[in-house]
Amino acid sequence: MDALLIFVGLIALMLTGMPISIALGLTVLTFLFTMTQVPIDTVALKLFTGIEKFEIMAIPFFILAGNFLTHGGVARRMINFATAMVGHWHGGLGLGGVIACALFAAVSGSSPATVVAIGSVILPAMVKQGFPKQFGAGVITTSGALGILIPPSIVMVMYAVATSGMQAVGPDGQPVSSASVGELFMAGVVPGLMLAGFLAFTTWNRARRFGYPRLPKASLRERWEAFRKAAWGLILIVIVIGGIYTGIFTPTEAAAMSAVYAFVIAVFVYKDMKLRDVPRVLLSSASMSAMLLYIITNAVLFSFLMTHENIPQALGNWMVETGLPWWGFLIVVNILLLAAGNFMEPSSIVLIMAPILFPVAVRLGIDPVHFGIMIVVNMEVGMCHPPVGLNLYVASGITKMGITELTVAVWPWLLTMLVFLVLVTYVPWISLALPHALGM
């Protein structure tokens, strides 16, 4: 009954058009003041300790690094490198766009940033070469979603923060710890590369069927030149992933390193950004970080309320007693998350749903890392379909296309992503192979 009241209140407030962060906070405070005896100083303490996590510091640093890279010419050089390698295949520029999105995702951590950085450069080039605008928009909108699956990923950090410290027990009654940011980053590598391959195949197949243009094959010298110019950006991938894997620094320290490195190569190496532009980038990054941290703060309160009322534990007990198998639970979770993607953005979904679903998943024997990657792939799909798909709105601004037209344009790639979601859901090895191989 308590769970029903909480969710009815939350949905009612969101339906008024209220920002999700404020709706979360109001729902929690209203319930705490009217239906529980929780002391207000406990709430204040929880607000403070809830965001006093070292992992949360990674979010503003990755946002800052992504903004420096977006404005610093790194994306253009990655596109040139990708097209030099695969431009002579069917749909060459489109394939180059997919690979460039995957490369940029490995340094930015954000899907909208990937769409802006790659799309604003490659979409005009594709139209100029003779590709239909709808084809280019479909490629970039969906490939940009790789930004939250290929590490580093802000959404993975959100999942780790939302589930950290939660009391969860496995089917054998033993406590199970939540996934760390480092484990999630490593787990995202194989699924990220696989999805990039799936999207590239869809792009190649459609380009071959409809006879879309190809670029002349680049010479070895041209490929080397493209690689040399893109190398400074590509080195950042090695710094972040290699540094975490070897234990040189934590994911949060990797985020700080990437922000400093991105600043240096944008201003002093490539020189595409002037020092006078830095304050504007800092202000934009601070604004986005503040928005996410405000959502996190209210989501921490919501998670506290869920735990205080024993709602996740009760839900887990009910599912076990009804005999729902783990595969049936995953079907329910996928439907729930895809439905939530219709009216909420990924950060909010993860911060609200993860604390509720995580203990149930663990109780049914589902690995926390596998479950986290499955949630991230769901978020990717949600970013590419209406009515609130962030990538659709970003791509709409670049292409000047309507949301309805864009929705029709992305459907072949969106269908590919749904097929991949089924694979990730029921083949845990895809997510767990690399972390297990690294001894995590």
Residue 93: C-alpha distances to residues 119, 230, 240, 397, 435 (Å)? 11, 17, 28, 20, 33
End-to-end CA distance of the chain: 40
Residue closest to 278 by CA, chosen among 256, 257, 259 = 259
What pLDDT score was predicted for residue 205? Answer: 93
Are the C-beta atoms of 329 and 274 separated by less than 8 Å? no
What pLDDT score was predicted for residue 201? Answer: 95
When pLDDT is averaged across residues 34-38 and rounded to a whole number, the result is: 72
- Say if residue 254's pLDDT is above 80: yes
Residue closest to 179 by CA, chosen among 162, 201, 154 = 162
Q: Which residue has the higher pLDDT, 430 or 32?
A: 430
The dihedral region occupied by 53, where left means phi > 0, alpha psi between -120 and 50, and beta the remainder, is: beta
| 0.75 surpassed by pTM | yes
Q: What's the chain's average pLDDT?
A: 83
In degrees, to the nearest 5, what angle opens at C-alpha 108 toward C-alphas 256 and 181? 60
Tokens of 407: 């929705």
Tokens of 367: 């690995």
What pLDDT score was predicted for residue 147? Answer: 85
What pLDDT score was predicted for residue 430? Answer: 93
What pLDDT score was predicted for residue 50? Answer: 65
Which residues touch 12 (CB under 8 Å, ≥6 apart)?
none
DSSP assigned state of 152: S
In whole angstroms, what is the distance from residue 192 CA to residue 91 CA? 21
- Say if residue 388's pLDDT is above 70: no
What pLDDT score was predicted for residue 190? Answer: 93
- Say if residue 229's pLDDT is above 70: yes
pLDDT (tens digit per residue) in 99-116: 998 988 888 777 888 888
Are the C-beta atoms of 109 and 148 separated by less than 8 Å? yes
Q: Which residue has the higher pLDDT, 228 or 39?
A: 228
Residue closest to 156 by CA, chosen among 266, 241, 79, 238 = 241
Residue closest to 168 by CA, chosen among 159, 178, 158, 160 = 178
Strand partners, 399: none
When pLDDT is averaged across residues 238-252 and rounded to a whole number, the result is: 81
What pLDDT score was predicted for residue 45? Answer: 74
- Say if residue 296's pLDDT is above 80: no
- Say if residue 11's pLDDT is above 80: no
Residue closest to 435 by CA, chosen among 376, 367, 375, 380 = 367
pLDDT (tens digit per residue) in 373-387: 999 999 888 888 776
- Say if residue 166's pLDDT is above 80: no
Are the C-beta atoms of 77 and 299 separated by less than 8 Å? no
